[in-house]
Amino acid sequence: GDSVTQMEGPVTLSEEAFLTINCTYTATGYPSLFWYVQYPGEGLQLLLKATKADDKGSNKGFEATYRKETTSFHLEKGSVQVSDSAVYFCALSDRGDMRFGAGTRLTVKP
Amino acid sequence: ETGVTQSPTHLIKTRGQQVTLRCSSQSGHNTVSWYQQALGQGPQFIFQYYREEENGRGNFPPRFSGLQFPNYSSELNVNALELDDSALYLCASSLAGGDSYNEQFFGPGTRLTVL
């Protein structure tokens, strides 16, 4: 079945460092791809999405490009802030249930 | 625009008991999905309801059941609770149709502890 594999954490970076969190997927159809963020004690918030190949999702300085040839949707940010500390989930959906990766915990130190 | 709300926030039950969790979907959304998130893991899909009927189900036993009401709010019922049912239960709403079908908006979750 459809699935998502994302980079294991935790990831610890200094403020203003470059961030990459890898995500690859397996799907039989043409899913939409998502990155969600979860802050401590809260539910999931949509960070960005892409609905077809070569689409680039972006929000709050984060970007990810839907790469069909490599079945990837890596999350990047050029300069992280302490407030970006959270758990990040890659997910896919193909007109029904949403499949999530295991999550990557990011800690940004001042 | 009102977001997705869930109640209660926290709940403690004992093994063998039954529990009902509630969710109010975002205004205008007609589809509700439920997820179980165990500690340190990603959410796992339980089931989805569209226009009051189950519209897909994950790998969960029949003791997990649900309802959707005419106002699109929803309940998740779990019978014969087991220790492994301890988790954060997330509700998400969406609007069926086109690209918007896939975008789900999540509530804050209900933390269930089974003792």
Query: What per-residue confidence (pLDDT) applies to B97?
Result: 61
**Residues in B lying within 8 Å of A, measured between beta carbons:** 4, 33, 35, 40-45, 48, 55-56, 58, 90, 92, 99, 101-109
C-alpha–C-alpha distance, residues B6 and A37, integer Å: 19
Q: Which H/E stretch holds residue A21?
A: strand A19-21
Q: How far is A16 from chain B (nearest CA, A)?
A: 27
In angstroms, rounded to a whole number, what is the distance separating the alpha carbons of residues A36 and A66? 15
Residue B100: predicted pLDDT: 52
Q: Is the pLDDT of residue B39 over 80?
A: yes
B113 to chain A nearest CA, in Å? 15
- What is the chain B residue with the closest CA to A102? B42
List A46's β-bridge partners, or say none.
A36
pLDDT category at A30 given cuts 50, 70, 90 is confident
Q: Do B92 and A98 touch (CB under 8 A)?
A: yes
Confidence of residue B102 (pLDDT cuts 50, 70, 90): low
pLDDT tens by residue, A65-106: 999 999 999 999 999 999 999 999 999 987 677 899 999 999
Average confidence (pLDDT) over A4-30: 93
Percent of chain B with pLDDT over 70: 93
Q: Find the closest chain B residue to A94 by CA distance.
A: B102
Q: What is the pLDDT of residue B88?
A: 95
**A104 φ/ψ angles, rounded to the nearest 5 degrees:** -130, 120
CB within 8 Å of chain B, chain A residues 66-85: none
Q: Please give the average per-residue pLDDT across A24-47, as a whole number.
A: 91
Interface test with B, best of A97, A99, A104, A105 (most B CBs within 10 A): A97
- Which uninterrupted H or E stretch holds A89? strand A86-93
Taking the Cβ of residue A25 and every Cβ of chain B, the question of whether any pair is shorter than 8 Å is answered with no
CB contact under 8 A, B45 and A44: no
If one compares A8 and B90, the residue with the highest pLDDT of the two is: B90
On whether any CB of chain B is under 8 Å from the CB of A40, the answer is no
Can you give the pLDDT at residue A42?
A: 82
Whole-number average pLDDT of chain B: 91
pLDDT at A97: 79
pLDDT-derived band at B104 (thresholds 50, 70, 90) equals confident
